[in-house]
Amino acid sequence: MRYPGSDYGVTVPDLPCCFSAGETLEEALENAQEAVLTHTEGMMKDSNPIPSPTALERLREQVTDMDVIWAVVSVDLAKLSERAKRVNITIPEKLLGKIDSFAEKEGQSRSELLVSAAGRR
């Protein structure tokens, strides 16, 4: 949302108290990615569950303010300060195919999908 003479403000409905801003819409969305990463990292350090994203259609029903611009930002949880460690796991081939198909559909790598799912769990 932007008021005359102010920056664009960004809130993240699924992460209460997570917000950012920017002089331009592009800057505000870039800052939103950083805000989500920082907020998520804090939640993980506090052992709080990471919520699953709410469907955009559902959010539109909940927020009726006409000055809202809806946007979706992609966040790479691998950028968190925790060091990544390569692991070797065994997964049934059929399930691995489903994981890969879902990851591709979501625009994620297999690792990103599994880390994201484990983080929410």
Over residues 15-66, the pLDDT tens digits come to 989 999 999 989 999 999 999 988 988 888 888 888 888 888 888 888 777 6
CB atoms within 10 A of CB 87: 7
Query: Are domains 1-80 and 85-121 of this chain identical in fold?
Result: no
Which residue in 5, 4, 11 sits closest to 69, CA to CA? 11
CATH of 1-80, one of 3.30.960.10, 3.30.160.250, 3.30.70.1450, 3.40.50.2300: 3.30.160.250
Supply the pLDDT for residue 80: 72
Average pLDDT value for residue range 101-116: 87
Supply the pLDDT for residue 98: 94
pTM: 0.60
Supply the pLDDT for residue 109: 86
**Which fold is adopted by the domain 85-121?**
Arc Repressor Mutant (1.10.1220)
pLDDT at position 2 over 60: no
Domain boundaries, the chain: 1-80, 85-121
Longest dimension (CA), the chain: 56
Render pLDDT for 17-27 as a digit per residue (tens, 0 to 9): 999 999 998 99
Which residue in 41, 21, 40 sits closest to 31, CA to CA? 21
Tokens of 56: 């955009």
Whether 77 contacts 116, CB under 8 Å: yes
Whether 51 contacts 119, CB under 8 Å: no
In 25-106, which residue ranges form alpha helices assigned H by DSSP?
25-45, 56-62, 93-106
